[in-house]
Amino acid sequence: MRRSFWLALAFGCNLFAANDCLPCHTAIAEAFAKTGMGRSITVRPAVLPGTFSHPLSNRHYTIEGGKMKRHQRGPGGAAFNVIEKTIDVAIGSGNHAITYGSRTPNGMLLELPVSWYSQEKAYFMSPGYDQPAHFDMRREITESCLFCHSDSAQPAAITCRRCHGDAAAHLAQPGRGNIYNPQRSSEVCFQCHLETESMGIVDSMRKPGRDVFSYWPGEPLADYKLYFDRADPPAERFEVNHTAYRLIQSACYQKSAGKLACVTCHDPHSARAREACGTCHQSEHTRAKATGCAGCHMPKRKAQDALHITMTDHWIQRAPKFVDPVKENHEPYTGKLVPFYTKADPLLTAIANVRVPDASSARLYEQYLQRAPKDVPTLIALGKVLIRLDRDRDAEARLRRALALAPREAEARLALAVAIGKQGDIDGALREMKAVVAAVPDDSYAWLNLGLTHRGLQQFSGAAAALREAIRLQPDLAVAQQALSSLPAAK
């Protein structure tokens, strides 16, 4: 029942909620439309023209006419390795920032490497891209990203249903008691505002069998996904999406027996904040200060995962001390992950902690598949581990199953090509590789693998063409450079 509701909404009925509620809840609907949430995504946005040069990666970007163009400059200043993408969606209201997405002919949404930052009113690299080798125009905007920023898997601004759920019964008979009212529950907010870390760790895992957009308001969050954090997180870690993560660690939250909710301070519909400290704190100190409590106890600071964005620190402390970061940190975390906020599940915790693709991680994925036999990402992960273990025939079976469930899954097809190629069927591998580059023509690794397969078949001109495309897409891809220069035809 619920599933069909979500599916029905995925097909372009995005105006459903706001339009249907407006006549009776006019003030709420109008207030919400003005919030950042009510403007969280814009399809076919108007984009300010501009340029941004990134010397660290020798890439130059021009934004104009609804497109983003990238080129590199050679010694004489001549432009080469040119790529151009249309700007099809804007993620973010622009209260703080806007990141752009480009739709590929195959329907995939790619994240663009340059974002707009409102405080500085200027373009800079997107969060995580300020390094010599970055994702450039190759990174997919996944459903998980859309889960927090969009009303559904089709890009659209967030609406009422993300907090109130299915409204069919209520619309049939408007009144109390037949639609979910979150009242003081914060989990409806946590579904999007709780994140322990945005890059570098497995921050959370959905429970086996749960699709990205399968969470419904009112359901315990722990039935949908489990959260993880570093075993020993640095106290001063502070990110763009850290409101709930930091609030949960506050004495105010921990020692007030569930009385401190997001809506204690925020009106959910206008998103406006009032400090509300006085409901719990009455002392000489608070009477003397009267207001402005947040300025001292919840200061605004630079986010470590997006240096051009300043956010309110929701970890309410006596005397917060911090140093603003000066550059992006790309150091991978190799330590242990432990459950955060939600209770431990031994299997999921073990999988979140997988670091090496070895026999024991393969066993963990097998166990997970017993609980969720149709989980495509796990089938792919298992397939890849089995390839590493030289169990190519087993890998092939898992990857074929993944493709039977999700025929457009290019990652599965790429791994399948490797699995059958390793078993000696190079022609079959070549066929699959060609299907992969047709499906994901922006993926440098797909072209690299196609090139290597051609080389394996002694087809050197095909190999050279594919490797050159890999390099155009990703100029820093050293393996492709090496493979190209080692080809007999290129010498």
- Within 14-33, the residues that bind ligand HEC by CB under 6 A are 17-18, 20-21, 23-25, 28-29, 32
| Per-residue mark of binding to ligand HEC, 177-216 (x: CB under 6 A) | x-x-xxx--x-xx-xxx-x---------------------
**Residue 177 CB, nearest distance to ligand HEC (Å)?**
5
**Residue 334 CB, nearest distance to ligand HEC (Å)?**
23
**Residue 47 CB, nearest distance to ligand HEC (Å)?**
14
- Taking CB under 6 A as the binding criterion, the range among 228-236, 247-255, 352-360, 425-433 that sits at the site for ligand HEC is 247-255
- Residues contacting residue 169 through CB under 8 Å, at least 6 positions apart: 178, 179
Q: Which of 162, 206, 301, 401 binds ligand HEC (CB under 6 A)?
A: 162
Q: Which of 175, 220, 234, 332 binds ligand HEC (CB under 6 A)?
A: 175
- For position 414 contacting ligand HEC by CB under 6 A, the verdict is no
Toward ligand HEC, which CB reaches closer, 286 or 423?
A: 286
Toward ligand HEC, which CB reaches closer, 20 or 442?
A: 20
- For position 166 contacting ligand HEC by CB under 6 A, the verdict is no
Toward ligand HEC, which CB reaches closer, 28 or 350?
A: 28
Toward ligand HEC, which CB reaches closer, 90 or 418?
A: 90
- For position 303 contacting ligand HEC by CB under 6 A, the verdict is no
- Taking CB under 6 A as the binding criterion, the range among 250-258, 341-349, 395-403, 446-454 that sits at the site for ligand HEC is 250-258
- For position 416 contacting ligand HEC by CB under 6 A, the verdict is no
- Residues contacting residue 90 through CB under 8 Å, at least 6 positions apart: 41, 42, 45, 47, 98, 99, 100, 101
Toward ligand HEC, which CB reaches closer, 119 or 482?
A: 119
Toward ligand HEC, which CB reaches closer, 237 or 434?
A: 237
**Residue 417 CB, nearest distance to ligand HEC (Å)?**
27
| Per-residue mark of binding to ligand HEC, 120-159 (x: CB under 6 A) | ---------------------x--xx--xx--------xx
Q: Which of 57, 59, 61, 92 binds ligand HEC (CB under 6 A)?
A: 92
The Cα–Cα gap between 393 and 383 comes to 10
The Cα–Cα gap between 327 and 385 comes to 34
Task: Give the nearest residue (CB) to ligand HEC.
Answer: 36
Toward ligand HEC, which CB reaches closer, 277 or 415?
A: 277
Q: What's the first-to-final CA gap in the chain, in angstroms?
A: 63
- For position 255 contacting ligand HEC by CB under 6 A, the verdict is yes
**Residue 416 CB, nearest distance to ligand HEC (Å)?**
27
Q: Which of 68, 87, 97, 483 binds ligand HEC (CB under 6 A)?
A: 97
Report the b/e string of 141-155 with b at 16+ CB within 10 A: beeebbbbbbbbbeb
Q: Which of 51, 106, 119, 279 binds ligand HEC (CB under 6 A)?
A: 279
**Residue 204 CB, nearest distance to ligand HEC (Å)?**
8
Binding to ligand HEC, residues 306-345 (CB under 6 A): 311-312, 314, 316-319
Sheet holding 337-340, edge to edge: 204-206, 225-230, 337-340
Q: Which of 131, 286, 349, 423 binds ligand HEC (CB under 6 A)?
A: 286
- For position 466 contacting ligand HEC by CB under 6 A, the verdict is no
Pairing of strands 67-73, 79-86: antiparallel
Q: Which of 54, 85, 134, 164 binds ligand HEC (CB under 6 A)?
A: 164
- For position 455 contacting ligand HEC by CB under 6 A, the verdict is no
Pairing of strands 50-54, 59-64: antiparallel
10, 153 Cβ separation under 8 angstroms:
yes
**Residue 305 CB, nearest distance to ligand HEC (Å)?**
10
| Per-residue mark of binding to ligand HEC, 28-67 (x: CB under 6 A) | xx--x--xxx--x---------------------------
